């Protein structure tokens, strides 16, 4: 459903007519109009009215994540310093990228995923009507840069008249792309807050039409006022109504698509329920059955095939055969129960009891895992993280030869494409003028920069949808406060290092592995870059002074090398490594190829320093890379990088971790090892690690929600002490296979196998 809210009927009257919305006749205290997939509510003026009506409507309608909010209305332009009232602004509809509540200073951020044909603006929500000129001293960030009226106008016209940063700011001191227009209304911040209890920020859209510059006690002083105030307002609101109607059409289509998805989920739940009853499932068994069915359907196995399998193997005749077999084994009770399995009058298989159901469930699992070939790719991923800095060039964060996936375009004429990744960059206000920020922003001259107080205001918002955000990821530049060094988790291999530590310089990863636990760890798909490296170095020095040495993993839960083109983290740490003899650094990566190699060659490290820099390459079979490691380098590219790293005197670790299940895993991992042994001088390898995929219960639960259509989140794992892993037999077979082959090539002491007996819940990259 699309929930539209407006403060006054007069602001949306023409839309009500054009959309043929009918008035709802209910005792609801707010005026409402409805139509296809739309419920429009008139909230009344002010924040209290707005929050009550939004909350009441969404509660009454049982709104939930997936429903859409559109807030429409008029707004005044704030004329701060250096601003003059301009006819250009009047009647323009703006898409609000940031809302600020004037009374509290709190800011709210809708997701900006689509390329809409509206210019963007910030918006201030106040408690009283804006008086003309009352904010003459307001010092917006854009005004601090002294944007001219022409620059403001060029922003309004959007990309078609976009100027390059060099055209707009000849002085290199300027920060590019700041949005210039600041609007004022009396409801939006309250609408956002009330709606966010029910809906996701990816589904929030605030559109505001400029109708004035604040009211004047003396109307005569208002510029551009040939008509009465009300007539002028109507004319302005309708000036771009087709653009708004097109956008509403897009939301209606989106809502219909989501309704279809809901119906699909409902049908699945009914199938699950029916099968669960047939098998006499307990609560836990039903959860297992659900996972199994979701996994099976993702593999292309239909509900009918599942039923057929069960009927053929557990229907009366076969149950009887089983029973005879059991009788031979002396299990008489089983015999009696087994023959009771039957097809009921509705043609449904019904097993005799829970015990028989358990047997059937286990057999079904075995059949699904062994019979099918992985057919369906993870639907949960976004597009490859390609960062466009201008129209002709694509900066891929890694030297990945598989670039070229285009951003998804709309399916129908009402659709809008997704914004390119990093087209919006949120920057903590304290960092706006830092050289690091300026250096990064220069790489994205077309990016819109949105100042924020703290990265958590954007990154930790309620009810975010990782899947939707993955289509258009945003960059957040921030300062890391508090703890910056962490002890390695018990479950993760420490390679016998006594002071094994890791640090987090990025939150999230530029790559997108379908099985990555970050999807269960962070609430957002956006990428946070911490830029206060000197603070990290100070922490390292302190640690070394206290403990004597430090082994630091700097790319522990991300892939730092992939971001080197945007900010040279690894290079900076290499410099630091030269100064600290008691420090060793590990850089884990799935990047590779010539580009990576050029970076490694350029690292400012002495020969001795190179012996304290360990590059840990994660290796997977090409089929797994293709299916589940989106954006990462191909196996051949990773191998080239390994060869070059060895030639250049770096320490190299090979990580066969995590091993990912595939119905042909033995063949795939066998081929991987063969290629590795042929092309890499194993005697020069520092060490190897291996372990099969495992993940904590809580992360997998969150991942299942974020990526419901991924075989990696729906796999029928087993749970041991709070972490999920492959069924024990399979896990041991997979790890044993790899271990025995590695053992033939390198000494035992150089192989680190993850010990699942000690684990309590974290997957290693
Ligand atoms: S598994 Fe590693 S490389 Fe893949 S997305 Fe996660 S952190 Fe990045």
pLDDT category, 458, cuts 50, 70, 90? very high
Mutate to test the pocket of ligand 1, among 558, 587, 631 (most ligand atoms within 8 A of CB): 558
Give the range among 32-36, 338-342, 400-404 with minimum mean pLDDT: 400-404
Residues 6+ apart with CB under 8 A from 444: 176, 177, 387, 389, 422, 423, 425, 475
Ligand 1 centroid, distance to 544 Cα (angstroms): 29
744-762 pLDDT per residue, tens: 999 999 999 876 555 433 3
Q: Residue 451: helix, strand or coil by DSSP?
A: strand
Torsion sign, CA atoms 749, 752, 755, 759: positive
Q: Is 398 in the pocket of ligand 1 (CB under 6 A)?
A: no
Q: Is 512 in the pocket of ligand 1 (CB under 6 A)?
A: yes
Neighbours of 400 (CB within 10 A): 25
Q: What is the pLDDT of residue 231?
A: 83
Give the range among 66-75, 178-187, 549-558 with minimum mean pLDDT: 178-187
Whether 147 shows a pLDDT value over 90: the answer reads no
Ligand 1 centroid, distance to 400 Cα (angstroms): 15
Whether 407 shows a pLDDT value over 70: the answer reads no
Q: What is the pLDDT of residue 709?
A: 81
pLDDT category, 601, cuts 50, 70, 90? confident
Identify which of 556, 700, 534 has the alpha carbon closest to the alpha carbon of residue 614: 556
Which residue's CA is minimally distant from atom 4 of ligand 1?
A: 513
Q: Do 649 and 402 meet the contact criterion of CB atoms below 8 Å apart?
A: no
Q: Work out the average pLDDT over 585-603.
A: 87
pLDDT category, 85, cuts 50, 70, 90? low
Radius of gyration of the chain from Cα atoms? 30
Q: Do 80 and 213 meet the contact criterion of CB atoms below 8 Å apart?
A: no
The ligand 1 atom at the shortest distance from the C-alpha of residue 515 is 1
Q: What is the DSSP string of 644-699?
A: HHHHTT-EEEEEEEEE---TTHHHHHHHHHHHHHHHS-GGG--EEEEEE-EEEHHH
The CA distance from 723 to 763, in Å, is 9
Q: Which residue has the higher pLDDT, 157 or 188?
A: 188
Which residue's CA is minimally distant from atom 7 of ligand 1?
A: 558
Q: List the beta bridge partners of residue 699.
A: none
**Half-sphere exposure at residue 149, Cβ-oriented, CA atoms within 13 angstroms:** 9
The ligand 1 atom at the shortest distance from the C-alpha of residue 510 is 8
Q: Is 516 in the pocket of ligand 1 (CB under 6 A)?
A: yes
Give the pair of three-digit tokens for residue 338: 């087994």
Q: Do 765 and 509 meet the contact criterion of CB atoms below 8 Å apart?
A: no
Ligand 1 centroid, distance to 305 Cα (angstroms): 35
Give the pair of three-digit tokens for residue 221: 């002083």
Ligand 1 centroid, distance to 77 Cα (angstroms): 44
215-230 pLDDT per residue, tens: 776 655 555 555 677 7
Instruction: Outline where DSSP puts E strands in 49-92.
Output: 68-77
Ligand 1 centroid, distance to 562 Cα (angstroms): 11
The CA distance from 636 to 654, in Å, is 14
Q: Is 703 in the pocket of ligand 1 (CB under 6 A)?
A: no
Matching residue, tokens 């609801």? 28
Mutate to test the pocket of ligand 1, among 473, 507, 511, 656 (most ligand atoms within 8 A of CB): 511
> How far from each other are the two terminal CA atoms of the chain, in whole angstroms?
39
Q: Which residue has the higher pLDDT, 410 or 29?
A: 29
Ligand 1 centroid, distance to 137 Cα (angstroms): 47
Burial of residue 411, with CB atoms counted within 10 A of its CB: 0-12 exposed, 13-18 middle, 19 or more buried = exposed
352-367 pLDDT per residue, tens: 888 888 999 999 998 8
Q: Is 428 in the pocket of ligand 1 (CB under 6 A)?
A: no
Matching residue, tokens 């004047």? 216
pTM, 2 dp: 0.85
Q: What is the pLDDT of residue 659?
A: 96
Ligand 1 centroid, distance to 661 Cα (angstroms): 17
Which residue's CA is minimally distant from atom 1 of ligand 1?
A: 516
pLDDT category, 369, cuts 50, 70, 90? confident
pLDDT category, 300, cuts 50, 70, 90? confident
Percent of the chain residues topping a pLDDT of 70: 79
Matching residue, tokens 């080197």? 564
pLDDT category, 146, cuts 50, 70, 90? very low
Ligand 1 centroid, distance to 96 Cα (angstroms): 33
The conformation of residue 526, written as its DSSP 8-state character, comes to S
Q: Residue 754: helix, strand or coil by DSSP?
A: coil
Q: Is 765 in the pocket of ligand 1 (CB under 6 A)?
A: yes
Give the range among 26-30, 44-48, 115-119, 153-157 with minimum mean pLDDT: 153-157
The ligand 1 atom at the shortest distance from the C-alpha of residue 518 is 6
Q: Work out the average pLDDT over 234-258.
A: 95
Torsion sign, CA atoms 714, 717, 722, 723: negative
Which residue's CA is minimally distant from atom 2 of ligand 1?
A: 765
Q: What is the pLDDT of residue 302?
A: 87
Whether 298 shows a pLDDT value over 80: the answer reads yes
Q: What is the pLDDT of residue 497?
A: 61
Residues 6+ apart with CB under 8 A from 690: 655, 656, 657, 659, 735, 738, 739, 742, 751, 752, 753, 754
Does the N-terminal peptide bond of residue 658 adopt cis geometry, omega within 30 degrees of 0? yes
Ligand 1 centroid, distance to 589 Cα (angstroms): 8
Which residue's CA is minimally distant from atom 6 of ligand 1?
A: 516
Give the pair of three-digit tokens for residue 642: 């390994």
Give the pair of three-digit tokens for residue 91: 């009647």
Taking all residues of the chain, what is their mean pLDDT, rounded to a whole number?
Answer: 83
Domains of the chain: 2-218+233-258 (3.40.50.1580), 279-371 (no CATH), 387-753 (3.80.30.30)
Identify which of 679, 677, 656 has the alpha carbon closest to the alpha carbon of residue 734: 656
Q: Residue 385: helix, strand or coil by DSSP?
A: coil
Whether 122 shows a pLDDT value over 80: the answer reads yes
The CA distance from 532 to 557, in Å, is 18
Q: What is the pLDDT of residue 343?
A: 61
324-360 pLDDT per residue, tens: 455 445 444 444 444 456 666 566 677 888 888 899 9
Q: Is 559 in the pocket of ligand 1 (CB under 6 A)?
A: yes
pLDDT category, 527, cuts 50, 70, 90? very high
Q: Is 251 in the pocket of ligand 1 (CB under 6 A)?
A: no
Largest CA distance in the chain: 103
pLDDT category, 516, cuts 50, 70, 90? very high
Give the pair of three-digit tokens for residue 684: 């020069």
Inter-axis angle of helices 569-579 and 533-547, nearest 10: 30
Give the pair of three-digit tokens for residue 536: 């990290």
Q: Secondary structure of the chain: what % helix, strand, coil (to 5)? A: 40, 20, 40
Q: What is the pLDDT of residue 400?
A: 32
The CA distance from 685 to 495, in Å, is 14
Q: What is the DSSP string of 293-325?
A: HHHHHHTT--HHHHHHHHHHHHSHHHHHHHHHH
Q: What is the pLDDT of residue 226?
A: 57
Produce one character per residue of 569-581: b if its CB has 16 or more CB atoms within 10 Å, e if not.
bbbbbbebbeebe
Element (H, E) at 354: helix 354-371
Ligand 1 centroid, distance to 231 Cα (angstroms): 57
743-746-748-753 Cα dihedral, nearest 10 degrees: -70
Q: Work out the average pLDDT over 239-266.
A: 95
621-638 pLDDT per residue, tens: 999 999 999 999 999 999
What are the angstrom distances between the C-alpha of 453 and each of 205, 459, 477, 481? 22, 12, 11, 13
Q: What is the pLDDT of residue 574?
A: 95
Q: Do 493 and 754 meet the contact criterion of CB atoms below 8 Å apart?
A: yes
Ligand 1 centroid, distance to 134 Cα (angstroms): 51
207-213-219-222 Cα dihedral, nearest 10 degrees: -120
The CA distance from 483 to 633, in Å, is 32
Of 84-88, 92-96, 381-385, 712-716, which has the strongest mean pLDDT?
92-96
486 phi and psi, to 5 degrees?
Answer: -130, 145
């Amino acid at each position: 459903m699309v929930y539209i809210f407006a403060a006054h009927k007069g602001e949306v009257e023409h839309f009500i007519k054009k959309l043929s919305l009918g008035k709802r006749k209910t005792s609801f205290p707010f005026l409402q109009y409805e139509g296809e997939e739309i419920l429009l509510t008139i909230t009344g003026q002010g924040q209290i009215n707005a929050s009550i009506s939004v909350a009441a409507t969404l509660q009454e309608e049982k709104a939930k994540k997936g429903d859409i909010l559109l807030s429409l209305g008029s707004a005044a332009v704030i004329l701060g310093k250096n601003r003059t009232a301009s006819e250009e602004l009047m009647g323009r509809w703006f898409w609000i990228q940031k809302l600020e509540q004037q009374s509290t200073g709190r800011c709210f951020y809708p997701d900006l995923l689509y390329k809409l044909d509206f210019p963007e603006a910030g918006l201030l929500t106040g408690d009283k009507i804006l008086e003309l000129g009352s904010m003459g001293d307001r010092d917006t960030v854009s005004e601090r840069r002294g944007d001219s009226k022409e620059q403001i106008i060029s922003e309004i016209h959007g990309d078609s008249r976009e100027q390059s940063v060099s055209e707009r700011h000849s002085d290199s001191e300027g920060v590019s792309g700041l949005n210039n227009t600041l609007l004022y209304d009396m409801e939006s911040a309250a609408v956002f807050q009330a709606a966010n209890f029910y809906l996701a920020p990816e589904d929030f859209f605030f559109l505001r039409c400029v109708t004035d510059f604040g009211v004047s006690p003396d109307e005569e002083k208002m510029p551009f006022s040939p008509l009465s105030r009300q007539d002028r307002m109507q004319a302005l609101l309708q000036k771009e109504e087709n653009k708004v109607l097109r956008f509403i059409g897009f939301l209606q289509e989106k809502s219909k698509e989501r309704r279809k998805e809901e119906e699909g989920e409902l049908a699945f739940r009914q199938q699950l329920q029916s099968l669960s009853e047939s098998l006499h499932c307990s609560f836990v068994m039903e959860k297992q059955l659900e996972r199994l069915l979701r996994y099976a359907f993702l593999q292309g196995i239909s509900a009918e095939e599942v039923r057929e399998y069960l009927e053929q193997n557990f229907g009366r005749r076969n149950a009887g055969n089983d029973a005879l077999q059991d009788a031979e084994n002396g299990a008489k009770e089983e015999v009696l129960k087994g023959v009771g399995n039957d097809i009921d009058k509705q043609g449904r298989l019904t097993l005799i009891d829970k015990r028989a159901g358990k047997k059937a469930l286990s057999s079904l699992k075995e059949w699904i895992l062994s019979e099918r070939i992985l057919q369906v790719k993870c639907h949960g991923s976004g597009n490859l993280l390609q960062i466009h800095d201008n129209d002709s060039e694509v900066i891929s964060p890694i030297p990945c030869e598989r670039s070229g996936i285009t951003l998804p375009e709309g399916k129908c004429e009402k659709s809008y494409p997704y914004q390119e990744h990093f087209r919006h960059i949120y920057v903590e206000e304290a960092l706006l003028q830092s050289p690091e920020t300026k250096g990064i922003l220069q790489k994205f001259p077309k990016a819109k920069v949105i100042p924020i107080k703290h990265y958590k205001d954007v990154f930790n918002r309620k009810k975010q949808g990782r899947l939707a955000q993955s289509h258009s990821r945003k960059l957040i530049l921030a300062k890391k406060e508090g703890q910056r060094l962490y002890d390695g988790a018990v479950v993760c291999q420490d390679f016998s290092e006594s002071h094994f530590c890791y640090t987090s310089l990025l939150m999230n990863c530029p790559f997108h592995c379908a099985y990555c636990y970050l999807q269960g760890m962070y609430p957002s798909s956006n990428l946070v870059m911490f830029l206060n490296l000197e603070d990290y170095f100070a922490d390292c020095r302190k640690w070394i002074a206290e403990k004597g040495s430090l082994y630091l993993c700097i790319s522990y839960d991300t892939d730092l090398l992939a971001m080197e083109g945007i900010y040279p983290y690894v290079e900076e740490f290499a410099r630091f490594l030269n100064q600290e003899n008691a420090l060793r650094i590990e850089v884990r990566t799935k990047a590779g190829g010539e580009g990576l190699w050029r970076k490694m060659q350029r690292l400012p490290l002495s020969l001795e320093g190179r012996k304290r820099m360990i590059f840990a390459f994660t290796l997977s079979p090409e089929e797994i890379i293709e299916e589940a490691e989106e954006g990462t380098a191909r196996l051949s590219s990773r191998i080239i990088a390994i060869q070059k790293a060895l030639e250049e005197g770096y320490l190299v670790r090979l990580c066969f971790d995590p091993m990912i299940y595939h119905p042909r895993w033995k063949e795939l991992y066998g081929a991987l090892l063969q290629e590795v042994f042929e092309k890499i001088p194993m005697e020069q390898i520092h060490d190897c690690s291996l372990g099969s995929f495992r993940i904590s219960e809580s992360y997998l639960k969150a991942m299942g929600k974020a990526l419901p259509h991924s075989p990696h989140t729906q796999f029928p794992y087993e749970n041991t002490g709070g972490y999920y892993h492959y069924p024990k037999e399979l896990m041991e077979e997979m790890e044993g296979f790899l271990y025995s082959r590695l053992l033939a090539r390198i000494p035992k002491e150089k192989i680190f196998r993850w010990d699942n007996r000690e684990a309590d819940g974290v997957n290693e990259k």
